[in-house]
Chains A and B, each alone.
Chain A
Amino acid sequence: DAGVIQSPRHEVTEMGQEVTLRCKPISGHDYLFWYRQTMMRGLELLIYFNNNVPIDDSGMPEDRFSAKMPNASFSTLKIQPSEPRDSAVYFCASSLAGGPGEQFFGPGTRLTVL
């Protein structure tokens, strides 16, 4: 059974460009999470969805970031315009019903903004 799928795996772009990251959660999982990981700040939750509905986006750094989940099998994280400080690894994770439980992470997208 496939795990969480993310694309692209690597993205190099120039400051000011729009970046779109994609995620396909594990089939049947109700929750989807977007995280950002940097050396300085570790793993930070950006936003999470329950049954395609955004529940908590308080971790989204600013208006340049937006996330959508149009259906149960697809989500996007968009950065527009991108800045060098957005360079990080972005992980998508999914899990079953709410409450504490294992989150399954995708392989991540390594973003470099020049």
Chain B
Amino acid sequence: RKEVEQDPGPFNVPEGATVAFNCTYSNSASQSFFWYRQDCRKEPKLLMSVYSSGNEDGRFTAQLNRASQYISLLIRDSKLSDSATYLCVVDVQTGANNLFFGTGTRLTVIP
């Protein structure tokens, strides 16, 4: 069983739409959670951390549900520039800095 599982998509949405991605993780002891963004043929970059209380950064909202072991990312008013692959990332061992990456969910925002 994979540590982190995501729907690979693709998600094709029109500009201005709201889109949500979910990700599940298998290790209930996981402590830290992140969303990374990866543009086509580029390296992954941190988009945002996911806190237990949920957190928002502009049009992006991340939420954590420990009971169900899933993480979500909501993008409001999507822009063409949001087109990318979004990677769900889990740190399963506090202090070891050992991150497990999901295979990513591909988003295309259509004009």
Q: Is A77 an interface residue (CB 8 A)?
A: no
Cα of A101 to Cα of B45 in the assembled complex, Å? 12
Query: Would you give the shortest CB distance from A94 to chain B, in whole angstroms?
Result: 11
Q: Which residue of B lies closest to A105 (CB)?
A: B43
Please count the residue pairs between chain A and chain B whose beta carbons lie under 8 angstroms apart in the complex.
Answer: 53
Majority SS of interface residues in chain A?
A: strand
Q: Which of B37-56 contact A (CB under 8 A)?
A: 42-46, 49
Q: Which residue of A lies closest to B85 (CB)?
A: A42
Q: Which of B64-80 contact A (CB under 8 A)?
A: none
- What count of chain B residues pass the 8 Å CB interface test? 22
Cα of A42 to Cα of B43 in the assembled complex, Å? 13
Cα of A98 to Cα of B103 in the assembled complex, Å? 24
| Chain A residues at the B interface, C-beta cutoff of 8 Å | 31, 35, 41-45, 48, 50, 55-56, 91, 95, 98-103, 105-108
